[in-house]
Amino acid sequence: ADEVIGYRNLPQTDIALKKALVHGPVSIAVNVDVNFQMYQAGLFNASSCNDGENLNHGVVAVGYGTTPEGHEYGSGSTAFAIRTICSYYIIRNSWGDSWGEDGYIYMKRGDNSLGRCNMLEMMSVPKLKVE
């Protein structure tokens, strides 16, 4: 069986995260604010968590995808439609299945150099000893 013998930090790029996700989950740190905390469903598009370098929460990136054009997100006063195709990351949080979409958040990609909520600033994957 393979053994975890440490970890390796990834470069702070969108491409590095996408490449790593092909092989498995990636540990990332994010800057959580009230919009992140109150997330319920849909594409997380808030930019308020992009300010500063306050990484204060650990989560796991587990995948990525693209929204269909014209897809509606949210409900009531928070509803909005995607007018163009948007790329996103699928993130697993540790706050239980009652938070977000069964414990997951769909975070819009391509927001700034460090990603939404500074998610590209600190990413790591396990180093394995393969037997």
Where b means 16+ CB within 10 Å and e means fewer, 71-100 reads: eebeeeeeeeebeeebebbbbebeeeeebb
Per the CB < 8 A criterion, the answer to whether 24 and 128 are in contact is no
When the pLDDT of each residue in the chain is averaged and rounded to a whole number, the result is 85
**Amino acid residing at 101:** E
- Predicted local confidence at residue 72, as pLDDT: 56
pTM of the model: 0.84
Q: Tell whether the model's pLDDT for residue 80 goes beyond 70.
A: no
Domain ranges in the chain are 3-129
Local structure of 9: helix, strand or coil: strand
Per CATH, the number for 3-129 is 3.90.70.10
Per the CB < 8 A criterion, the answer to whether 45 and 83 are in contact is no
- pLDDT tens for 17-50 read 999 999 999 999 999 988 899 999 888 888 888 8
